[in-house]
Structure 1
């Protein structure tokens, strides 16, 4: 091996650092396995979404973002789980499918009104927020339903689309067979499964 490549990239020695224990090596190997399983899921979702888009006649736009600039909003990782959030950030096909599912969601007016009535604290006026007003004490402290109706509808449609995406994904992954070592990180059939997403 040329001297300038020693210790670099793929040529780096696999020997544990001096002072490392077998426990450290085992933990590192477990992390590598979990990372491989996690990355496999991203690729699988991208491929399945591409097939679903083709079946629906959807043409995902090309994604101009380089992979190394991929960022995932923390709120998406918390709401969706890191695997689905990363797949949506990486895959134009997954995003196109989610957008199509969102377009298909019908939110009844009664559901929008019910959400408003049950969550008045989310619709306090700026002045009421500054005063720390009780949203259920003075109706004048709450933004009128007509002002926030469209935003609520969008939020409920988005939430319904995400549920539909998860339902689609569960069904689409049901027949996927993984090579050993590439199973889902949360698959309880392998020893070092993790339930974190």
Structure 2
């Protein structure tokens, strides 16, 4: 019954108490005082939290299908009924900038070991061709000026400007391109996986135009 679950993933219910548990860990960012505005903000916050919990559930299933992942710990099991991990947003790995991932995915990564493990695995799987690495180096010369050239304000695209040697920056470029490709793979996976999710009334995506107060705020 829809009184008991927020969503169904492949016919399996995701309990509403998992959404409630997440809402307790993420403070409201709206400061509305009017009752109708506060009620709307809370409805949207519940829908937003449902998306985070659903990503956690989908990632757990993906982990289970793939088997143990490096760094996944015990996230490859389903943890039936458990809420996403309670940890602050600032607990994300320092080397990963998640600001461009959108609030839903960023919070899912902060709270879900399975989502983090899946993203890490997808990044590791990406094969970056050498020509793509050199093309990035050649097209982004402004990022590879030598310190002396930066100091004098050189034009990075002038043929006489000195760049850091390709061999010196190659590994860093590979890491950056692999991370970007891994994120694209993660979003592609998520788009496909979400197709099998059915939401209970009041728990739809906050940007779903089928409910009257939808918004697409990331």
Aligned alpha-carbon RMSD (Å): 2.0
Secondary structure at the aligned position of 1:106 is classed as coil
TM-score, normalising length from structure 2?
0.73
Task: Say which one has the larger Rg.
Answer: 1
Q: Which runs of 5+ in 2 are unaligned?
A: 1-32, 76-84
- The alignment status of 1:69 with 2:88, answered yes or no, reads yes
More strand by share: 2
Q: Structure 2 vs 1, CA of residues 139 and 190 (structure 1 numbering), >3 Å: closer, same or farther?
A: farther
Q: How does 1:72-87 map to 2 (within 5 A)?
A: 75-77=97-99, 79-87=100-108
**Could you tell me which residue of structure 2 aligns to residue 25 of structure 1?**
35
Q: How much does 1:141 deviate?
A: 2.4
- The alignment status of 1:135 with 2:145, answered yes or no, reads no
**Could you tell me which residue of structure 2 aligns to residue 110 of structure 1?**
131
Provide Cα deviations, 1:128-160, integer angstroms capped at 9, x if missing partner: 222211111255521111111110011000000
- The alignment status of 1:50 with 2:60, answered yes or no, reads yes
Q: How much does 1:49 deviate?
A: 0.2
CA contact (8 A) 2:206 2:216 kept: yes
Q: Structure 2 vs 1, CA of residues 167 and 68 (structure 1 numbering), >3 Å: closer, same or farther?
A: closer
- The alignment status of 1:123 with 2:133, answered yes or no, reads no
- The alignment status of 1:180 with 2:180, answered yes or no, reads no
**Could you tell me which residue of structure 1 aligns to residue 216 of structure 2?**
195
**Could you tell me which residue of structure 2 aligns to residue 150 of structure 1?**
171
TM-score, normalising length from structure 1?
0.81
**Could you tell me which residue of structure 1 aligns to residue 186 of structure 2?**
165
**Could you tell me which residue of structure 1 aligns to residue 51 of structure 2?**
41
**Could you tell me which residue of structure 1 aligns to residue 22 of structure 2?**
none
More helix by share: 1
